């Protein structure tokens, strides 16, 4: 037993006690963080040559993580702002947790762009010398605003006295900002004439719908875990309500994807067909069909059928599948765009490292360094959520509450 645990045990805080499982959890997170820092440091010292990226596939796992984390930050907004504007109080017990999850996700997204930079030490150039036509600069701005909104939301929600009016104002402010966060992130890809697979107007709505799916699903999963490992009381109907919302989000998300693919397929032009063939029957097919079946169809059935939806454990499993499905979808959006050089004559693009030669659509396989950095980012996010939940969500220390 360490000092921290003894202090916590004697303080009488029922929920904030640092017990064995919690110490193990923290140890796991610290190990993950250390792995991430080591991988990042190793990459910093050697350059991005330690990744699996090449001049042909210049963006990979880091950018997938960035898209995914930006998307997953939508959860807090749906629960807090969406419910507020629709005038429902169903999700009120979830408010703080949802804002913590969202704020963490958007902070992690901002962090996850750093390892993708060839010179992270030069990132300040984006602030002192911004090129205002670049969607990357817009995204930096809108993510900063979004992070600030999450912080203000959390501050409002943790005041001893409820601030209904302030919450309503924040809801009105944050909705357009959230639409922008996901749209601008989509436009980073969508504006590129060089990548016909991305260069479609549906990308922004598609990013919003995917964000709604993964964000809501993550809030559901985190809430279920917190309820499971603590005595935090959360009525069952909250889960079923989130499940019902998810049914809509998944349906819209799938519809938008379908609308894009049908349009692209019927055009029968090479630059539209090539990426679709890669998804339907090519190298991305296993991941794509897993995304459609396990990531969309199976969870959708659980969300739609009331009898299934009411079983919280089933719902949590479905939400987990939804999150993984959206992650797969991010991969399946990024990779066809990358594997698609517009000038594809032999021998192709010089891949970039001594002795590596040329390539046109060589397979991209992330290196251990990339996986290590991703583990670090996930551990960082989980640590922030854990600390935030223990600080602001779990019932307060009864002794503290009794004090004048």
Partner 1 sequence: MLGTLLAGADPNEGIAAPVERTSAIEALPAASRAWGEIDTRSDAPRWGMLVDTERCIGCWSCAVVCKSENDVALGMWWNRILTEGSGLDTPSVDDHGRLGMAWLPLACQHCDDAPCEKVCPTAATYTNAEGIVLVDADKCIGCRYCMAACPYGVRVFNWGEPEKAPGVGEGMVQARPVGTVEKCSLCVHRIEEGQQPSCVVSCPAQARIFGDLDDPDSHINRVLADRGGSKLLKEKGTNPKVRYLPPRRRRSL
Residues of this chain that interact with partner 1 (CB under 8 A) are 46-49, 51, 53-56, 58-59, 113, 116-120, 122-123, 125-126, 129-131, 133-137, 140, 188-189, 191-195, 337-338, 341-343, 345-347, 349-356, 358
CB of 374 to partner 1, least distance (A): 18
Task: List the one residue out of 94, 111, 78 whose CA is nearest residue 182.
Answer: 78
Which lies closer to partner 1 via its Cβ, residue 136 or residue 251?
A: 136
Please, what is the minimum distance in Å from the beta carbon of residue 62 to partner 1?
A: 10
Of the pair 53, 238, the CB lying nearest partner 1 is at 53
- In the complex, least distance from residue 135 CB atom to partner 1, rounded to whole angstroms: 7
Pick 67 or 171: Cβ nearer partner 1: 67
7 burial (CB, 10 Å; 0-12 / 13-18 / 19+) is exposed
Long-range (24+ apart) CB contacts under 8 A made by 255-262 are 256/202, 256/205, 256/206, 256/209, 257/206, 257/329, 259/202, 260/200, 260/202, 260/206
Nearer to partner 1, 47 or 306 (CB): 47
Whether the CA torsion 153, 156, 158, 164 is positive or negative: it is negative
Cβ-in-10-Å burial (0-12, 13-18, 19+) of 296 comes to buried
Q: Which two tokens mark 376?
A: 């670090």
CA torsion sign for 395, 399, 401, 402 is positive
- Residue 124 or 266: which CB sits closer to partner 1? 124
**Can you list the pairs that 23-29 forms with residues at least 24 positions away whose Cβ atoms lie under 8 Å?**
25/386, 26/383, 26/386, 28/379, 29/379, 29/382, 29/383, 29/386
**Contact call for residues 219 and 94 (beta carbons, < 8 A):** yes
One DSSP character per residue, 207-232 reads HHHHHHHHHHHHHHHHHHHHHHHS--
- The C-alpha angle 365, 370, 374, rounded to 5 degrees, equals 125
Q: How far is the CB of 142 from partner 1 (least distance, A)?
A: 14
Tell me whether residue 1 or residue 128 sits nearer to partner 1 (CB atom): 128
Q: What's the min distance (Å) between Cβ of 125 and partner 1?
A: 4
Q: DSSP code of 261?
A: H
- Name the β-bridge partners of 338: none
Cβ proximity to partner 1: between 12 and 350 the closer is 350
193 versus 402: smaller Cβ distance to partner 1:
193
Are 330 and 297 in contact, with CB atoms under 8 Å apart?
no
Nearer CB in complex with partner 1: 265/358: 358
Nearest distance, CB of residue 113 and partner 1, angstroms: 8
Instruction: Write the CB contacts of 284 (distance below 8 Å, at least 6 apart in sequence).
Output: 278, 331, 332, 335, 336
Between residues 237 and 353, which has the closer beta carbon with respect to partner 1?
353
């Amino acid at each position: 037993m360490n000092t921290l645990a003894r202090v916590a045990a004697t303080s009488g805080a029922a929920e904030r006690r640092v017990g064995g499982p919690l110490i193990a959890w923290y140890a796991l997170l610290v190990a993950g963080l250390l792995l991430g820092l080591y991988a990042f440091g190793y990459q910093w010292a050697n350059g991005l040559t330690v990744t699996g990226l090449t001049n042909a596939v210049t963006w990979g796992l880091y950018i997938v993580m960035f898209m995914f984390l930006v998307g997953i930050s939508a959860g807090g907004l749906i629960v807090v702002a969406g419910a507020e504007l629709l005038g429902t109080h169903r999700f009120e017990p979830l408010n703080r947790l949802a804002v913590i999850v969202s704020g963490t996700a958007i902070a992690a997204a901002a962090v996850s762009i750093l390892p993708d930079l060839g010179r992270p030490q030069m990132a300040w150039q984006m602030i002192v010398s911004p090129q205002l036509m670049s969607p990357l600069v817009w995204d930096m701005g809108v993510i900063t605003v979004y992070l600030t909104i999450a912080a203000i939301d959390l501050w409002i929600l943790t005041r001893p006295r409820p601030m209904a009016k302030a919450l309503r104002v924040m809801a009105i402010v944050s909705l357009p900002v959230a639409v922008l966060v996901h749209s601008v992130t989509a436009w980073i890809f969508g504006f590129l004439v060089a990548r016909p697979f991305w260069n479609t107007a549906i990308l922004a709505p598609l990013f919003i719908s995917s964000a709604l799916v993964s964000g809501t699903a993550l809030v559901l999963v985190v809430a279920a875990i917190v309820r499971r490992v603590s005595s935090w009381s959360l009525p069952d109907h909250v889960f079923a309500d989130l499940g019902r919302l998810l049914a809509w989000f998944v349906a819209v998300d799938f519809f938008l994807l379908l609308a894009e693919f049908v349009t692209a397929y019927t055009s029968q032009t090479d630059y539209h067909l090539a990426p679709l063939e890669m998804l339907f029957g090519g190298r991305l097919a296993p991941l794509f069909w897993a995304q459609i079946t396990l990531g969309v169809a199976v969870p959708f059935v659980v969300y739609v059928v009331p009898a299934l939806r009411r079983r919280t454990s089933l719902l949590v499993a479905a939400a987990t599948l939804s999150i993984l499905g959206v992650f797969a979808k991010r991969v399946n959006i990024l990779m066809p765009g990358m594997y698609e050089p517009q000038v594809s004559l032999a021998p192709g693009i010089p891949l970039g490292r001594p002795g590596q030669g040329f390539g046109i659509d060589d397979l991209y396989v992330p290196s251990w360094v990339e996986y290590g950095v991703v583990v670090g980012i996930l551990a960082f996010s989980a640590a922030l959520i854990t600390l935030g939940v223990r600080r602001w969500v779990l019932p307060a220390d009864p002794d503290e509450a009794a004090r004048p």
